[in-house]
Amino acid sequence: MKLRLTEKTKNHVWKYLNTHNIANRGSVDGSKQNQFVGLVGELAVYNYLYGYTLDLFIKDDGFDGGWDISYNNLKIDVKTKERSVPARPEFACDVLESQIKYRADCYVFCNFIGDGESVEICGYITKEDFLKKAVYIGAMQSVSRSDGTSFINKAGVFSVLIKDLSNIGELKCGY
């Protein structure tokens, strides 16, 4: 599901980030751009589920407990990757090894299109199913992509493919 980003949303996120730093995990902390991408994904999912955009300035500062959104008694952790191309079924969806211990009930994965104009909600998966299906990729391990390119993973992650996710509409209809 592709959602168009408005200038109002982008400006709201940057205004928030000018006075807040949400990358305080201690390791693999994101840059301001990474924080922007994460918050845009979170706002897209929140807007889809609730029908309106969350005012970031009412969020508590500090650690969020490991989830971003509470919805229908579920603690949802939104994970957003910035990519230059639209999402494809064989693309990876990752959770940092250091974040697996957090109390999220499910993960929603998003794709931020690098042109800054849209976010795709790729789908969701319960944490239980994620842990059953995920492959562990260690820090500094080489990862091969379906297009033949590769990169070195900076941190340990658990990974599933977009094709392993369920449609976000199922969450909205009462998981």
pLDDT of residue 168: 93
Domain enclosing residue 27, as ranges = 2-172
Q: What is the pLDDT of residue 115?
A: 75
Residue 68, helix vs strand vs coil: coil
Tokens matching residue 122: 């790729």
Q: How far is CA 141 from the centre of its chain?
A: 22
pTM confidence score: 0.90
Task: Output the pLDDT for position 174.
Answer: 64
pLDDT 10s digits, 120-163 = 999 999 999 999 999 999 989 888 877 788 888 888 999 999 99
Give helix then strand counts, H and E, for the chain: 4, 10
- Kindly report, residue by residue over 2-21, the tens digit of the pLDDT: 888 888 889 899 999 888 87
Question: In the chain, how many domains are there?
Answer: 1
Q: Is the pLDDT of residue 69 over 60?
A: yes
